[in-house]
Amino acid sequence: MKACGLIVEYNPFHNGHVYHLQQSKEETQADVMVAVMSGSFLQRGEPAIIDKFHRAKAALQSGVDIVLELPYVYAVQYADLFARGAILTLSSLNVDHVCFGSEAGNIVPFINGYHHYIQNEKQFESKLHQFLDEGLSFPQASKKAYESIDLTSGEVDLSQPNNILGFSYVKAVKELNASIKPETIQRTKSGYHDEKIEHDIASATSIRKEILQQQSMTSNARNALPTATVEQLNNYMHSSGRWHSWEDYFPFLQLLVQTRTLDELKSIHGVIEGLEYRLKQTVQEAESFEHWMQLLKTKRYTWTRIQRMFAHLLTNTTKEEIETYKSINQSPYVRILGMTDKGRSYIQSIKKDIDVPLISNIQQFNHSMLDIEERATNAYYSPLPSSVKKVFKSQELTGPIILKETGI
Amino acid sequence: MKACGLIVEYNPFHNGHVYHLQQSKEETQADVMVAVMSGSFLQRGEPAIIDKFHRAKAALQSGVDIVLELPYVYAVQYADLFARGAILTLSSLNVDHVCFGSEAGNIVPFINGYHHYIQNEKQFESKLHQFLDEGLSFPQASKKAYESIDLTSGEVDLSQPNNILGFSYVKAVKELNASIKPETIQRTKSGYHDEKIEHDIASATSIRKEILQQQSMTSNARNALPTATVEQLNNYMHSSGRWHSWEDYFPFLQLLVQTRTLDELKSIHGVIEGLEYRLKQTVQEAESFEHWMQLLKTKRYTWTRIQRMFAHLLTNTTKEEIETYKSINQSPYVRILGMTDKGRSYIQSIKKDIDVPLISNIQQFNHSMLDIEERATNAYYSPLPSSVKKVFKSQELTGPIILKETGI
C-alpha cells in the first residue's frame, strides 16, 4: 500500500482540508492518507479549539486513514522545528509522500530553492545570526536572511506563511535524509489568515473566530465544515460547556507569573531576553488575556512568540527540555490517535519494517517526550469542570480511536 | 497609652471575638487593642473566607484599634512558629500585654508549665525527635513529648487546641525575651471545632460551614456575628460573587501538581517524606478538593498538614524560604492593615521608640518576606473574575484602612 503523509493542525477540520486531502490523494495516487496532527497546543501557540481526540475523530470520519500526534515539543515551535518533528513522525510510518498546500502548487521551485539555499547556507547562517543579534525575532530574521541569499525573490515566494512551512518540510526531508518524496498541491483561494467566511472554503482562523464570538455553530461556519466536524464541535461543547481559547487560561497564567520566581520564569522555553521582567511588570495591569498580549507585544516579542511562551509556561516546558529534541534523528515513539480499518491494515502491513514503538495509551511507553505530552494534555484541560476533565483525560489511557469503514 | 495584643484569625470576626476583645480589655486595663491577624491563608491551611482587608475592617468596626498582618511565613504554620511570628509582630509595636482565651482562664498554670518545660527541655527534645522518627506528625509528636515530661497531666490541659496555642504564646514570649506580659481569659462555652451554631456565640468553623453550605447569610449566622461582619461578608460576596474555600483552588492545584516536576514539588515547604509521589499518584483520580484530601490523608499526613502544604504549593513557598524565618529575633517590618483614630494616636505615641519600619502599602518596603506576602495575596485572589481581582489587589498598594471613631 502506498501512503501519503499530511502535516496538519485541523483546528478544526474544514472543507479546505477535505480539498487538501482529496487533491493530495489524487496527486500521489496513495492508498492510505496519514495525517500528523498537532495535539493540545498549536504551532502559533494557541490551545486547540477542541481536544485532539475530537479533532482526530472528525478527520477520520472525513477520509483521513491514520491520525498521528505531532509531539508537543515540535508542535508549538517555529516552522523549522515544527517541520522536523512532522517529518520525523511521518518517516517512522514509512510514508511514501508528503503533500502540502502551496500558493502555486508546483514542487520544483521548492526543490530548486532548497539547492540554492544549500549553496548559500554559510551566508544564510551568518545573515540569520546578524539579524537575530539586531533584535529581530526568529521568523523575521530568517525571512530577511532568505532574502539576503535571493531565495525570496526567486521561485519560492516565502512571504506566504504556507510557502514557508512547505519550504521547511522540504528542508526537513532533505536534512533528515528521509525517504519521503515531497509533493505540493495548489491551495484554494482562501488566505491563511482571512478572517471572514465568504465561501464554503474558509480559513480555520475565520471559522474559529466566528464560532468563538457567537459561542455557537453558525450557518456560515456550518457551510465551511464537513458534517463530522460540526458534530464533533457540538459534542465537545455539549460535554464540556466550552470551546477553548486563551482567555480560559488567563487566571492560570496570572497565578504562574505572579508566584514563580524570575529564575523559574527564565527557565521556561520561550522566556528570552528579559521577558520574565516584562511578564512580572504587566501581569497586575492586565484585565484579560487579550489585554495582556497587547501590553506584552513589541516588534521583538511577536504575538505568536508570546503565545508559544505562554503554552510553555502553562505546561512548565523548560529550555533544557526542548534543547534535547532539536537534534534527534529518529522519533522515540509514534503515537496513533486514531485510524480507520484501512489505516489499521496499513499499520499491520508495515509493522515488521519499522523500528519505532507505536503507542496509543500514554502508559504503554516511558519517555520524557511523552511526559511532556501528558503535561500538555492536562494543562489543556485545566479550565474544564473536574468531572468532564476526568472523562476526557481517560482517553489518554485507552487505545486509539478505531473507525469502522461502515461508520463513514 | 497601654496596649493589649490579641492573636487572631477573625475568619470571620464573630461574637466570641467581641467577648475576647472586651474581656481582654477589662483584664489588662488597656487603652488600645492591637490584633495581629492571619492574612490570606490561615493557621490550619485554609484560604480565609473573605480577604484580609474586609476582615480587618469588620474588626475595626467592632472595637479593635489596630489590625496588623501576621506574615504568611508564620501564619500558615504549626503552633510554635505561628506563635513566634505573632509575638515578634506584637513586640515590634511595644504592646504591654498579650491576652488569649483558654479553657480555665488562669495564666498561672501556663507560666508554671513553661518553667516545668524548661527544666525538662532536654528530655522533651529527645522524646520529640523519637516520636517524629517514629512517623508522627509534628503536633502529634509534640503532644506526646509534652505528655512524656508530665506537662499535660499537670496544670495546663494541652489536649485543648486553644491551650496549645496559649502555651505556645507564653513560650514565644519567654524565648524571644519579649517585654510583653501574657494574660488569659476564660473562653466561652462554644468549642473550637463545634460545627453547629446553637447560641449567639458560635465557633468560626460552624459559621463558615453554615454560610458556605447555604451560599448566603443565614439567620443563625447573623445571630452569631456583629453587624459589621455581616456587612463585610455581604459586601465581599456582592463584589466578587464568592466566599473562598479550598474547592475554588482545585483546578489551580491540579495544574501545579500535574505540570511541576517531582523535584520542583519536593522543594515546596510541607512536601515531605515522599508526598510529591503521593500527590502525582492521586491528582488524576481526584474529583474535587475534598475528594483529593480523602485520597491524600493518612495518619501521618494530617488534614491540616496537607492543607498547609497546598497553600505553600499555590503560593510557591519553598522549604528554603521558610527556613530563614524560623529563627529570626526581630520582625523585618510590621504591616498595618487598618486602624481607628485611637489606634493611630497610639502609633504616633510610640513611633519614636520603635526600630522596625511600619508599612501598609507593599511597595513602601523591599523584603523577601513581603514578596511572599504579595504572592499569597495574588494566589488567594486567583479564583476571582479579573476585574474584581484588580480592584481587590489595588488595596495592597494603598494606605491602611483608617476608621474614624465617629464611624463606629
Using DSSP, state whether A257 is helix, strand or coil: helix
The answer to whether the CB of B247 falls within 8 A of the CB of B290 is yes
Look up residue A144 and give its three cell numbers.
Answer: 530577511
- Mind giving me the DSSP string for B134-154? TT--HHHHHHHHHHHTT-TTT
Residues 6+ apart with CB under 8 A from A280: A257, A262, A265
Within B120-203, residue ranges assigned H as helices are: 121-133, 138-148, 161-175
Higher-pLDDT residue of B80, B157: B80
Is CATH 1.10.3470 correct for B3-103+187-244+329-407? no
Torsion sign, CA atoms A120, A123, A128, A131 = negative
B147 burial level (CB within 10 Å; 0-12, 13-18, 19+): middle
Give dist(CA B4, CA B335) in Å, integer. 17
The bridge status of strand B334-340 relative to strand B358-359 is: parallel
The bridge status of strand A66-70 relative to strand A97-102 is: unpaired
Q: CA nearest B247 in A: which residue?
A: A386
pLDDT on residue B193: 56
Q: How many CA atoms lie within 13 A of A323 on its CB side?
A: 6
A54 marked ligand binding residue: no
Mean of all residue pLDDT scores within chain B: 92
Residues 6+ apart with CB under 8 A from A37: A8, A9, A10, A52, A55, A56, A59, A67, A68, A69, A70, A337
The answer to whether the CB of B381 falls within 8 A of the CB of B51 is yes
Q: Which residues of B touch A261 (CB under 8 A)?
A: 316
Using DSSP, state whether A351 is helix, strand or coil: helix
Q: CA nearest A383 in B: which residue?
A: B251
pLDDT on residue A197: 56
Q: CATH: 1.10.3300, 2.30.29, 3.40.50, 1.20.58. Which one for A3-103+187-244+332-407?
A: 3.40.50
Cα of first residue to Cα of last residue in chain B, in angstroms, is 21
Q: Which residues of A touch B287 (CB under 8 A)?
A: 386-387, 390
pLDDT on residue A150: 83
- Mind giving me the DSSP string for A84-127? HHHHHHHHHTT-SEEEEEESS--SHHHHHHHHHHHHTHHHHHHH
Give dist(CA B221, CA A152) in Å, integer. 73
Do A252 and B254 make contact, defined as CB atoms within 8 angstroms? no
From the CA of B99, how many Å to the nearest CA of chain A?
Answer: 35
From the CA of B122, how many Å to the nearest CA of chain A?
Answer: 40
- Which of A40, A259, A321, A395 would best serve as a mutation to test chain B binding (most B beta carbons within 10 A)? A259
Q: Taking Cα atoms as reference points, which of B82, B52, B84 lies closest to residue B336? A: B52
Give dist(CA B279, CA B301) in Å, integer. 12
Per-residue pLDDT tens digits of chain A, which is 408 residues long: 999 999 999 999 999 999 999 999 999 999 999 999 999 999 999 999 999 999 999 999 999 999 999 999 999 999 999 999 999 999 999 999 999 999 889 999 999 999 999 999 999 999 999 998 887 877 778 888 888 888 766 667 777 777 889 999 999 999 999 999 999 999 876 555 555 555 588 889 999 999 999 999 999 999 999 999 999 999 999 999 999 999 999 999 999 999 999 999 999 999 988 999 999 999 999 999 999 999 999 877 889 999 999 999 999 999 999 998 988 999 999 999 999 999 999 999 999 999 899 999 888 899 999 999 999 999 999 999 998 999 999 888 888 999 886 544
Residues 6+ apart with CB under 8 A from A246: A46, A47, A289, A290, A293, A307, A310
Q: CA nearest A261 in B: which residue?
A: B316
Torsion sign, CA atoms A165, A18, A183, A90 = positive
Q: Which residues of B touch A260 (CB under 8 A)?
A: 316
For the segment B371-395, what is each residue's pLDDT rounded down to a tens digit?
999 999 999 999 999 989 989 998 8
How far is CA A197 from each of CA A55, A200, A204, A205, B376, rounded to the nearest angstrom?
A: 20, 8, 10, 9, 46
pLDDT on residue B147: 86
Using DSSP, state whether B260 is helix, strand or coil: coil
Q: What is the mean pLDDT of residues B191-198?
A: 55
Q: Which residues of B touch A379 (CB under 8 A)?
A: 255, 258-259
Q: CA nearest A368 in B: which residue?
A: B261
Do B284 and A316 make contact, defined as CB atoms within 8 angstroms? no
Do A316 and B288 make contact, defined as CB atoms within 8 angstroms? no
pLDDT on residue B84: 97
Helix (H) or strand (E) holding A65: none
Band of pLDDT at residue B143, cut at 50, 70 and 90: confident
Evaluate if residue B408 carries a pLDDT over 50: no
Q: What is the mean pLDDT of residues B351-359?
A: 93
Using DSSP, state whether A13 is helix, strand or coil: coil
Q: Taking Cα atoms as reference points, which of B205, B127, B84, B110 lies closest to residue B164? A: B110
Higher-pLDDT residue of B364, B92: B92
Band of pLDDT at residue B407, cut at 50, 70 and 90: very low
Residue B379 has its nearest CB partner, among A259, A284, A288, at A259
Do B382 and A255 make contact, defined as CB atoms within 8 angstroms? yes
3-state secondary structure B269-294: CCCCCCHHHHHHHHHCCCCCHHHHHH
The answer to whether the CB of A41 falls within 8 A of the CB of A376 is yes
Residue type, B43: Q
- Structural domain boundaries in chain B: 3-103+187-244+329-407, 248-324
Query: What are residue A97's DSSP bridge partners?
Result: A4, A181
Do A284 and B393 make contact, defined as CB atoms within 8 angstroms? yes
Give dist(CA A245, CA A49) in Å, integer. 6
Q: Which residues of A touch B259 (CB under 8 A)?
A: 314-316, 375, 378-379
Query: What are residue B181's DSSP bridge partners?
Result: B97
Residue B255 has its nearest CB partner, among A264, A288, A382, at A382
B199 marked ligand binding residue: no
Band of pLDDT at residue B190, cut at 50, 70 and 90: low
Cα of first residue to Cα of last residue in chain A, in angstroms, is 21
Residue A252 has its nearest CB partner, among B252, B389, B390, at B252
For the segment B89-141, what is each residue's pLDDT rounded down to a tens digit?
999 999 999 999 998 899 999 999 999 999 999 999 999 999 988 878 777 78
The answer to whether the CB of A128 falls within 8 A of the CB of A141 is yes
Residue type, A124: F
A274 marked ligand binding residue: no
Do B390 and A287 make contact, defined as CB atoms within 8 angstroms? yes
From the CA of A386, how many Å to the nearest CA of chain B?
Answer: 6
pLDDT on residue B355: 87
Residues 6+ apart with CB under 8 A from B233: B12, B49, B50, B54, B58, B211, B217, B225, B243
Query: What are residue A8's DSSP bridge partners?
Result: A37
B350 burial level (CB within 10 Å; 0-12, 13-18, 19+): middle
pLDDT on residue B273: 84
Evaluate if residue B197 carries a pLDDT over 80: no
For residue B392, report the phi and psi dihedrals to the nearest 5 degrees.
-65, -40
Within B2-97, residue ranges assigned H as helices are: 15-28, 52-61, 72-75, 79-92
Q: Which residues of A touch B383 (CB under 8 A)?
A: 251
For the segment B279-289, what is each residue's pLDDT rounded down to a tens digit?
999 999 999 99
For the segment B30-71, what is each residue's pLDDT rounded down to a tens digit?
999 999 999 999 999 999 999 999 999 999 999 999 999 999
A162 marked ligand binding residue: yes
Give dist(CA B95, CA A132) in Å, integer. 61
Do A316 and B260 make contact, defined as CB atoms within 8 angstroms? yes
Q: CA nearest A313 in B: which residue?
A: B259
- Which of B240, B249, B255, B293 would best serve as a mutation to test chain A binding (most A beta carbons within 10 A)? B255
Q: Taking Cα atoms as reference points, which of B277, B267, B285, B252 lies closest to residue A379? A: B252
Look up residue A178 and give its three cell numbers.
Answer: 528521509
pLDDT on residue A408: 42
